[in-house]
Structure 1
Amino acid sequence: MIRLALLRHGHTAWNREGRIQGRSDIALDAEAEVDLAALALPSPWDQAALWSSPLKRAARTAELVSGRKPQTSDALTEMNWGDWEGLHGTELRADPTSGFRDIEQWGWDYRPAGGESVSELRARLQGWVAGLQSDTVAVCHIGVMRVLLAQASGWNFDGPAPFAVKRGRLFVIEVTPESWTMWPDPVRLEKRP
């Protein structure tokens, strides 16, 4: 069995503005840098393999909470939101012709305009998880986390999610060749002394 702990990157200016980031390489904002520098991975996660998305916001989060540079994988890059990157979700939601849907209505085949489907994201993530050799922390994005946690919990993007992805917490999945199982409670990062 391998344990995979998922951590969402810190805030960016686009997060705070409600913009869809996707693959846009937006850095952490100054407040996130300060907040994350005050946190650390708890034991035993501080000794686990460390991976992140290659996007600045994830790689920098990993470095701040661990004190070391992560290995990066393109597989952990956020879902491609295509034509919607940089736009406000609230504006897309208000336009009935946009095709935008809330996550509870996605299904595995949902695809943002000009972007990547949820099932395509799942396929690249499953390949990455299959290559893990030891307990691992992966600092990534909310879309990546939702897909991995959906896989582990049996949620099919069809109604309210059985989890809420919050920052500053590790969401742990136990991975065996037969199944993925999500821990019921996330593990909080520790405050540095």
Structure 2
Amino acid sequence: MPFSEPAPANLPFFAFIRHGETDWNAEGRMQGNQDIPLNDKGRGQARGNGKKLKAHLDGLSVSPVDLDFVASPLGRARETMELLREGLGLPREGYRLDERLREITFGEWEGLTIPEIAERNPDLAEMRRADKWGFVPPGGESYEMLSARVQGWLAGLDRPSVIVAHGGVMRVLRGLLVPIPTAEIPRLDVPQDRVFLWRDGKDGWV
């Protein structure tokens, strides 16, 4: 069934950007709250997203200085935000951090790949495969728990904003905005070279 909580009424325009690629992304490793820096490809993605967002805002006659900028406190999100702001013609600083936008925590599994997890903990790996939404890794959190955290942040969004965070955060955020079955939310595509938009009650990409 779709996630039961609807998006807040009159939610303002916002753009959401996933951080650029890291070496752990390229290797398929679970990052979670490990502070892995962007690689060169990731920095290029961040700069490219800044250009895409600037062109979109120009088309709407929206000035970036009128937007609120908020990022996850993890370094890969902060560097992405700073490169994005440069692309918008803004100083690198001038954004806020919000702990609720941290990536989902994978606990003891952070740094491992899915095949490594399946080899070490085959029973737990199968439990995760069967219920990725509700499964809690050892010492970690589930997508359901992450969604409750992000929902608290979303409920307070009261001005047009640009957000930089993580793949898991993007997945549950989309689940909070549109009717997506919970089993599908953890498997949503989360590109690092596109900008997700919410405007006038509709979602889109640039």
- Indicate whether the TM-score tops 0.5: yes
Cα-to-partner distance string for 1:120-168 (whole Å, 9 max, x where unaligned): 2112211111222211111010000001111212223324879522122
Given that 1:19 and 1:85 are in contact with CA atoms closer than 8 Å, whether structure 2 keeps it comes out as yes
Larger Rg, first or second structure (1 or 2): 2
Q: Partner of 1:129: helix, strand, or coil? A: helix
Cα displacement (A) at 1:116: 1.1
Cα-to-partner distance string for 1:17-53 (whole Å, 9 max, x where unaligned): 1110000011111332244335423214734211110
2: CA distance, partners of 1:98 / 1:162 = 18
The reply to whether residue 158 of structure 1 matches residue 158 of structure 2 is no
Which runs of no fewer than 5 residues in structure 1 stay unpaired? 176-180, 188-193
2: CA distance, partners of 1:45 / 1:157 = 36
Cα displacement (A) at 1:119: 2.1
Q: Percent identity?
A: 35
Equivalent of 2:47, from 37, 59, 75? Answer: 37
The reply to whether residue 56 of structure 1 matches residue 81 of structure 2 is no
2: CA distance, partners of 1:35 / 1:6 = 14
Other-structure match for 2:37 = 27
Other-structure match for 1:97 = 123
Cα displacement (A) at 1:105: 4.0
2: CA distance, partners of 1:166 / 1:59 = 17
1: CA distance, partners of 2:187 / 2:115 = 23
Given that 1:20 and 1:86 are in contact with CA atoms closer than 8 Å, whether structure 2 keeps it comes out as yes
The reply to whether residue 117 of structure 1 matches residue 142 of structure 2 is yes
The reply to whether residue 74 of structure 1 matches residue 99 of structure 2 is yes
Given that 1:9 and 1:139 are in contact with CA atoms closer than 8 Å, whether structure 2 keeps it comes out as yes
Equivalent of 1:11, from 2, 21, 25? Answer: 21
Q: 1:119 to 1:6 in 2, by over 3 A?
A: same
Given that 1:105 and 1:157 are in contact with CA atoms closer than 8 Å, whether structure 2 keeps it comes out as no
Q: Quick check: which one's strand share is greater? A: 1
Other-structure match for 1:190 = none
Q: Partner of 2:157: helix, strand, or coil? A: coil
Q: Quick check: which one's helix share is greater? A: 2
Given that 1:23 and 1:77 are in contact with CA atoms closer than 8 Å, whether structure 2 keeps it comes out as yes
How many residue pairs align between the two structures?
179
TM-score norm. by structure 1 comes to: 0.80
2: CA distance, partners of 1:92 / 1:117 = 16
Q: Could you tell me which amino acid in structure 2 is paired with residue 77 of structure 1? A: R
